[in-house]
């Protein structure tokens, strides 16, 4: 049946989550995510295991998304997929699947930059739900286990990277510190939980970087040496001060992110600020980000958690905007692990 509806299937497979999502005329109908428990035993994502799990998960994930949306394959207008940055093996599974399916259906495929997807997650809304989009130009802070970026978003297409981490991502700093104090992977949510019960009574050296770039690897070393010295004096230091250690680490990471965001606001004067990525779940960061917007008298946007972490709805959203402009990718488009915004 011919319709004028635009129906986009989005596929996300950049790291360890296999996602499939359906958008109809820019509104979300389904957002399915298959996580990968297999990595927990290794204390981090194992790339080879991730790509094998994507291979197992991708067909059922897409099938469930189509079923939940009540959409048949033949009704799809285009298929959007993550083309990078990410783990090469994982990207290859999603991109090959998306391109093959699009070819089989005779519809266009659209390669999407994962970081643009995170930013466009602010535009996702379900059918019947009011939209609550940030106004342009807005300042986006994307913080996850793989990325930490400040971007000035002039429009859906025009995005300007103002600063990013020079080494580890903020989520990595949470996860690596958690490992040092014996918390399981991913440790970010656990640090958050313990931080709520403690006080930020310890301080660590913060990196001195003049521009809007950030660094988190020095902090990791500072925490390591701090713990080593304290344990020498008091062998049970970690167990006895776990909540305060978590509160102090969280406080330090949040301060670094907020200082840079604040500086970017002063220089670039955005209309709104917007937070995304898995670390956007952190209670300390959410509170500080919201306060920062209030201090500057600007709007603050933090999407629902399911759109902050890696998900296919954000890829479908980016695909929807590209489809509106007729900007498709050819079958020759190959994923890039280090794709830069």
Q: Does residue 144 bind Zn ion (CB under 5 A)?
A: yes
> Is the bond leading into 137 cis (omega within 30 degrees of zero)?
yes
C-alpha angle 94-95-100 in degrees, rounded to nearest 5: 105
- Shortest approach of ligand KG4 to residue 314 CB, angstroms? 10
Name which of 174 and 202 has its Cβ closer to Zn ion. 174
If one asks whether residue 165 binds Zn ion (CB under 5 A), the answer comes out as no
Q: Which is nearer to ligand KG4, 169 or 264 (CB)?
A: 169
Alpha-carbon span 230 to 95, nearest angstrom: 48
Q: Should residue 13 be labelled a site residue for Zn ion when binding is judged by CB under 5 A?
A: no
Which of 88, 82, 103, 72 is CA-nearest to residue 20? 82
Q: Report the candidate in 76, 65, 69, 62 with the shortest Cα–Cα distance to residue 6.
A: 76
Residues 6+ apart with CB under 8 A from 36: 16, 17, 18, 45, 49, 50, 53, 57
Binding site for ligand KG4 (CB under 6 A): 15, 144-146, 171, 174-175, 186-189, 192, 277-279, 281-282, 309-310
- Output 159 or 246, the one with its CB closest to ligand KG4: 246
Which CB sits closer to ligand KG4, 175 or 272? 175
16 interacts with Zn ion by CB under 5 A: no
- Pick the closer one to ligand KG4 by CB: 71 or 91: 91
CB of 311 to ligand KG4, least distance (A): 8
Please state the closest distance from residue 145 (CB atom) to ligand KG4, in A. 3
Stretch that binds Zn ion, among 51-59, 94-102, 252-260, 305-313 (CB under 5 A): 305-313
Question: Cβ 18 to ligand KG4, closest distance in Å?
Answer: 13
Residue 310 in the binding site for Zn ion (CB under 5 A)? yes
Considering CB under 5 A, how many residues would be counted as binding Zn ion?
Answer: 2
Residue nearest to ligand KG4 (CB): 278
At closest approach, how far in Å is the CB of 175 from ligand KG4?
5
Q: Residue 241 and residue 252: Cα distance in Å, rounded?
A: 17
Contacts of 32 (CB under 8 A, 6+ apart): 19, 20, 21, 61, 64, 65, 68, 312
Beta bridge partners of 160: 152
CA-to-CA distance for 54 and 19, rounded, in angstroms?
9
* Cα 193 from Cα 173, distance rounded (Å): 16
> Which positions lie near Zn ion, rule CB under 5 A?
144, 310
């Amino acid at each position: 049946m011919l319709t004028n509806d635009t129906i986009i299937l989005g596929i996300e497979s950049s790291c360890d989550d296999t996602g499939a999502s359906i958008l109809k005329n820019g509104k979300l109908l389904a957002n399915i995510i298959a996580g990968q428990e297999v990595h927990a035993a290794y204390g981090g994502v194992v790339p080879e295991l991730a790509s094998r799990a994507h291979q197992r998960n991708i067909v059922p994930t897409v099938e469930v998304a189509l079923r939940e949306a009540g959409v048949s394959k033949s009704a799809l207008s285009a298929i959007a997929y993550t083309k990078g940055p990410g783990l090469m093996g994982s990207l290859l599974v999603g991109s090959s699947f998306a391109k093959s399916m699009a070819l089989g259906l005779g519809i266009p495929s659209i390669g999407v930059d994962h970081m643009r997807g995170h930013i466009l997650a602010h535009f996702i809304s379900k059918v019947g739900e009011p939209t609550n989009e940030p106004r342009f130009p807005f300042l986006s802070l994307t913080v996850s286990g793989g990325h930490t970026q400040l971007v000035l978003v002039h429009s859906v297409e025009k995005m300007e990277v103002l600063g990013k981490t020079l080494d580890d991502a903020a989520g990595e700093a949470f996860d690596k510190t958690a490992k040092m104090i014996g918390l399981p992977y991913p440790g970010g949510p656990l640090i958050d939980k313990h931080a709520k019960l403690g006080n930020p009574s310890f301080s660590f050296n913060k990196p001195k970087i003049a521009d809007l770039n950030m660094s988190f690897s020095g902090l990791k070393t500072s925490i390591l040496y701090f713990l080593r010295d304290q344990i020498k004096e008091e062998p049970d230091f970690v167990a006895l001060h776990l909540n305060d250690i978590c509160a102090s680490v969280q406080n330090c990471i949040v301060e670094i992110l907020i200082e840079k965001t604040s500086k970017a606001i002063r220089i670039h004067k955005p209309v709104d600020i917007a937070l995304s990525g898995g670390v956007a779940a952190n209670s300390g960061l959410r509170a500080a980000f919201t306060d920062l917007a209030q201090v500057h008298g600007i709007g603050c946007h933090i999407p629902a958690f399911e759109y902050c972490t890696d998900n296919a709805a954000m890829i479908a959203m980016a695909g929807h905007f590209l489809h509106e402009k007729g900007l498709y990718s050819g079958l020759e488009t190959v994923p890039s692990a280090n794709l830069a915004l």
